[in-house]
A and B are shown apart, each in its own frame.
Chain A
Amino acid sequence: MATAIGESEWEVAVPEKPLKDKVYFENLKAKVIDTNLCSRCLTCAAICPGGITVVENKVDFPDYENQCLDCGACVRVCPRFVYEPKSGLGDYIDFIAGRSKRFAGQDGAMVTELIVSAIEMGMIDRGLFAGRDDKWATEMFHVRDPEQLAITSLGGTKYTFADVLPALKEAVRFTKRGVGVVGTPCIVSGVRKLQQEFPIFREKVKLVVGLFCTENFHYSDISKFLQEKGVDFSKLIKTDITKGKFIATMSDGEKVKFKVKEVEEIVASGCNVCTDFTAVESDASVGSVGSEKGFSTVIVREGNVREIISYIKEKGYADFGDAKPEELDYLINLKKGREKNIKRD
């Protein structure tokens, strides 16, 4: 007795396995994780009905021999299982600089402004923000009301991985209008892969904001490194990378500075094979490079972000200025150079 609401019979295309007699997670492990291709975007952990998680900074599935359900969802969504590196500036319809009048963030707080304006417009009903606890470890927040941003320090760059995508799956489950998500280029690629494979993400994820990203750090590594440099987490209020220098700002105005070269040793292995600086697959990419101090560069790629920008202009929530695409060339080329690190078999 079939009903109009649902269906009692359906088909799922099963992805191909390079290692025929192994479960899918072992395939993923052999092809992505063990070859250091893994970007720790956690798209696999988001979709896995079993137990993909992070163990000692690596994506892992303890006891996968017994517990992997062998459904193949992880290899379907992994952006690097069949890796097509993306680079360059990508397609865009507008290239602007902006500074929010309402929020404080890393530079111009344009990520926060975009998401909050989208919530106010009714495009989405929640945005996913990475916040941090008093030890500077990241934790995910569902922001549904601009007032929530006043009580937690959600703005600002974290320079460590956040579990954005597992939180996104939960948000997709609860949302009515749509979800807005912010992430590094690898997370943006993961969202796109999820949207490509599963209609539920196409319908519910309405806004994807990418961040300019050269590299990222595992929490255990960066926290140990900063502590060795004498950074007191209880006083730390901001971290920043500008002009080849890593700057940690304290609440009493004291700044700890050192060269970015010093942290190169602890860059996550997946970042060495990443060529995408500007998150070319996003709806809008935001970063500090390319605009004046205090402004954020916004690369508008899709119509939905153009709508949000015109809403912000109409309400007068932000100042806008010119941004220079050519200033991004150095970092784009730097990341494009990492293509040689990708081992092809």
Chain B
Amino acid sequence: MKKVTVQEQGLGEKVVRHATAIGVAMKESVYPLTATVFYPRERKKMPDNLRGYLMFDPDKCISCWECAFVCPANAIQMKAAPNERYYPTVDYGKCIFCHFCVDSCSGGALKTTKIHDVAYKDMDEMLTLTEEMIEEPEIIREDKKSVEYVIDEHDLHLKRVREVDTLFVEVTPPVEIPMVSQCIDRASCIGCRVCEEVCESGAISSSIERGVLRMKIDTDKCTGCGLCVKECSMQILRLVKK
């Protein structure tokens, strides 16, 4: 077991540290930066995969609602956007930061940030609209340094770095396995053409000729988003490896 001992400080050092703390307290009481005051003026450096507040990229969203369905806290509600699409809104009053939504997002539209401590004035404010999740929010930073716990094979060290940790992470997109939608039980198809209606890439087409409906999936156009598989009322479409 490792015991943490308080470092011995000289009188001079003690005076300087107290004076700095009083100075910050005075300044904050006159001109407060944030609702809660963080002291010392340093933040722990968070790992890149921290489950923090969410960012949203509407261009990658296919409106599949999977994030809203999977959310165990029911924090995600889909709202109609002007372009006839549905985008998620997050109620951080309910969110438990499990990030199932990020994991379930097939288009990679949801991504994490290192923002994890936000203060709100009331409950209504905690409902974050889609528009507020697209742009990186402006953050008032009081921290001047970052602290990092470094674990080597023998011990745990505290490392102080004189730079501020960036809160937005560049997520490397996962390796895409090319998938394509296929019908696994064509005799059970009822011919409702919902798949054609929901297909975003125009890969599914149909034609009626002399009492026979012909369905076709263009495997070159199909992006493998899985929207048709989800919507098929008979559940006879599957994503298979291309």
List A residues at the B interface (Cβ < 8 Å): 1-3, 5-14, 16, 47, 49-50, 69, 71-73, 76, 173, 198-201
Contacts and interface: CB of A to CB of B under 8 A. Distances in A.
A48 to B, nearest CB: 8
Nearest to B235: A173
Contact of B216 (A3, A8, A16): A8
Nearest to A47: B190
Interface residues of B, number: 33
Nearest to A50: B192
A73 B189 CA distance: 9
A-B pairs, top 10 by smallest CB distance, nearest first, are A6-B182, A10-B186, A49-B233, A12-B191, A73-B190, A71-B192, A49-B192, A8-B217, A200-B188, A12-B213
A13 B235 CA distance: 19
A2 B240 CA distance: 10
A76 B235 CA distance: 18
Interface of B: 180, 182-194, 208, 211-219, 233-238, 240-242
B215 A3 contact: no
Contacts of B236: 200
A11 B215 contact: yes
24 contacts: A6-B184, A8-B182, A8-B183, A8-B216, A8-B219, A10-B183, A10-B186, A11-B212, A11-B213, A12-B186, A12-B190, A12-B191, A12-B212, A13-B212, A47-B190, A49-B194, A49-B233, A71-B190, A71-B192, A71-B193, A198-B188, A199-B185, A200-B234, A201-B188
Main secondary structure of the interface of B (DSSP, over half): mixed
A13 B211 contact: yes
A17 to B, nearest CB: 10
Given A13-B212, A200-B236, A71 B184 contact: no
A47 B233 CA distance: 8
A69 B240 contact: no
Contacts of A8: 180, 182-183, 216-219
Contacts of A7: 182-184, 186
Contacts, number: 93
A203 to B, nearest CB: 9
B199 to A, nearest CB: 13
A7 B189 CA distance: 12
A49 B193 CA distance: 10
Contacts of B216: 8-9
A10 B192 contact: no
A7 B188 CA distance: 13
Contacts of B234: 198, 200
A3 B192 contact: no
Given A5-B182, A6-B240, A200-B234, A73 B215 contact: no
A74 to B, nearest CB: 9
A259 to B, nearest CB: 45
B80 to A, nearest CB: 17
Contacts of A47: 190, 233
Contacts of B185: 199-200
